[in-house]
Amino acid sequence: MLQISCRKLCTVVSVGALSAVFASAQPISSLVHAKTLIAVMHSDLRILDPGFTGAYITRDHGYMVFDTLLATDSNFKIQPQMADWKVSDDKLTYTFTLRDGLKWHDGSPVTAEDCVASLKRWSKNETMGQTLMDFTASIEATNDKTITLKLKEPYGLVLESIGKPSSIVPFMMPKRLAETPPGQQIKEQVGSGPFKFVQSEFQPGVKAVYEKNTDYVPRKEPPSWTSGGKVVKVDRVEWIRMPDAQTAVNALQSGDIDFVENIPFDLVTKLAANKDLKLETLDKHGFQIVGRMNFLYPPFDNVLVRRAALRALNQKDVLDALVGNSEYYQLCGAVFGCDTPLATDTGSESLVKGSGLAEATKLLGESGYDGTPVVIMAPGDVLVFKAQPIVAAQLLRRAGFNVDLQATDWQTVVSRRASQKPPKEGGWNMFFTNFIIADVVDPVVNILVNGRGRNGGWFGWPESARLEALKDQFARASTPAEQKKIAADIQAVVYDQVIYVPLGQWRGVGAWRKSLSGVLDGPATPIFWNIDKSE
């Protein structure tokens, strides 16, 4: 087994860089604003358009600025958010009515026409949205407050699609922004959400600032995950970037910051003893580690090479390097997550048992692999993304792959993975990320099992008519037993064609000062409404 300490993976930060971080971290603004919450997030924020990328930091930004028609509560039930709904007796017409008091941050009213444009843009770049539109005959604004969606045939996941809690979330935005093509980023951050983005203070990669939207009218229901009343109790939230985890922890202990989204696992015991801090896993379902290959170029355009790579990798080495403490991870080969209704171990034996290296070497020799470099993007600035590419590179080299491990930062990965250029021209062959279980829990929501290739597929662009046919069957299935069988068939295709590589599940630990109260859990965390701060 590989022995890689998380400490050895820490980013080295210059004295000058640390000085800049501390300067950004100082709660100077709290002298002016009664309540300023300062947080260190899991990644720096550079891409602001939540419809452009599925990166979680951009999704988190989306929840600050934008709002959704529907939302998901802690029981995975869909609830009204910006709109209520009615369904016709024949299940073919869904009518959504916007609630009163909705305004964009520029003061103009939210209209049904805005929301229709937002749904259409979202559906072009998201698997669940694509499937919804496959079943949709029409969607239109029948008046300023009414959205009418008509289906070609009954489809049971309409509400779950529009209320999905995580990337890519169907956030609502003004029509002028929603008409931006999915491949381009919106030019303004104008939403109707509980916070307003302070563009003048935005320092990409360093600092993002949000102020309370005093015009926001929250729902009356108590908050539950992304649903319910989004009541903002602080005046201002600042996200600052501290690439070095130890620096962030020190700032948390000294009181210079209030909240750290992810703390190093080897510091959990020490920080738990600090009477001023609270530690908690906010997403109890955790994350699935994902390895994704690029199907467009050698060597992974060859299924035999992909199968060799699959056999070379194993979950335990990756999880030991990333997490270390088995209390916070589990070996799991289920494509749709362990401890979920669709969980199965079909096809996952070599990953879970770690017994495939000899077979990997044999398969690679039979594949005709000619030594083409495997370009792996390796972000070094985000704690939860550091270990995966390093471990994978070592395992692939053992099997005989020529690996080009290219050091970068996470936001570069987020941008570069969208490139369909050859690896020699700035493209890539493989990258790693994490998905919350809510984002992989079934074949419709799981963007990784999209087989549409270049035409609507997710980064890596696998093309599989068989996969798409099975997903269509799943969408039409009428019983849980039928869904489970189809999901197992889909998982078999995923492993056979190596659509992606699930590398186990883990749960992160967040930490915050006890001066904060009302911190909410959920599948899309952290959530900054409902948090109060005592002085």
pLDDT in tens, 29-45: 444 557 999 999 988 99
Give the per-residue pLDDT at 293. 98
339-375 confidence digits (pLDDT tens): 889 999 999 998 999 878 999 999 999 999 999 999 9
Structure tokens at 151: 């289906």
pLDDT (average), residues 492-512: 97
* Beta pairing partners, 379: 408
- Confidence (pLDDT) at 205: 87
Report the distance separating Cα 44 and Cα 413, nearest Å: 12
Cα angle 221-225-226, degrees, rounded to a multiple of 5: 80
The ranges assigned to domains in the chain are 27-53+195-276+510-533, 67-178, 287-506
Q: What is the rounded CA–CA span in Å between residue 196 and residue 218?
A: 15
Q: Which of 410, 385, 515 has its CA nearest to residue 38? A: 515
Q: What confidence tens digit (pLDDT) does each residue in 148-175 have? A: 999 999 998 999 999 999 989 999 999 9
pLDDT bucket at 119, cuts 50 / 70 / 90: very high
Whole-number pLDDT of residue 19: 44
Which among 210, 170, 171, 162 has a CA at the least distance from the CA of 191? 171
DSSP assigned state of 220: S
527 pLDDT higher than 60: yes
Of 29-43, 103-117, 180-194, 439-453, the one with minimum mean pLDDT is 29-43
- Residue 417 token pair: 């993975």
Query: Predicted confidence band at 126 (pLDDT cuts at 50, 70, 90)?
Result: confident
Which pLDDT does position 183 carry in this prediction? 82
- In this prediction, residues 304-330 reach a mean pLDDT of 96
Confidence of residue 16 (pLDDT cuts 50, 70, 90): very low
Burial of 22 from C-beta contacts in 10 A (0-12 / 13-18 / 19+):
middle
For residue 499, the 8-state DSSP code is S
Secondary structure in 3-state letters for 55-83:
CHHHHHHHHHHCEECEEECCCCCEEECCE
Q: Check whether 428 has a pLDDT greater than 70.
A: yes
Q: Are strands 136-143 and 146-151 parallel, antiparallel or unpaired?
A: antiparallel
- Residue 207 pLDDT: 97
**What's the pLDDT at 75?**
85
Query: For 67-178, CATH number?
Result: 3.90.76.10
Mean pLDDT computed over 486-499: 97
DSSP state, residue 410 = H
CA 330 to mean position of chain CA atoms: 20
How much is the pLDDT for 23? 45
pLDDT at 266 over 80: yes
Average pLDDT over the chain reads 91
Q: Which of the four pLDDT bands, split at 50, 70 and 90, describes residue 8?
A: very low
Rounded to an integer, what distance in angstroms lies between the CA atom of residue 515 and that of residue 494? 46
Collapsing DSSP states into helix, strand and coil, what is residue 53? coil
pLDDT at 174: 98
Alpha carbons within 13 angstroms on the beta-carbon side of residue 314 total 21
**440-457 average pLDDT score:** 91
DSSP three-state, residue 26: coil
Q: What is the pLDDT of residues 395-415, one digit of tens each?
A: 999 999 999 999 999 989 999
Q: Which helix (H) or strand (E) holds 289?
A: strand 287-293
Q: How do residues 45-66 score in pLDDT, each as one tens digit?
A: 999 999 998 889 999 999 999 9
Residue 200 CB neighbour total at 10 angstroms: 6
CATH entry 3.30.1360.170 includes domain 27-53+195-276+510-533: no
pLDDT tops 90 at residue 383: no
Instruction: Give the pLDDT confidence score for residue 15 in this predicted structure.
Output: 37
pLDDT score of 248 more than 50: yes
How big is the chain by its Cα radius of gyration, in Å? 23
Query: Whole-model pTM?
Result: 0.83
Angle formed at CA 327 by CA 290 and CA 384, multiple of 5 degrees: 35
- Mean of pLDDT values over 287-305: 98
Give me the pLDDT at residue 6, please: 38
Q: Confidence band (pLDDT; 50, 70, 90) for 7? A: very low
Write down the pLDDT at residue 26.
44
Tokens at 62, concatenated: 């989306």
Which top CATH class is 287-506? alpha beta
Tens digits of per-residue pLDDT, 207-241? 999 999 999 999 999 999 999 999 999 999 999 99
Q: What is the pLDDT of residue 33?
A: 52
Strands 374-379 and 510-513: unpaired
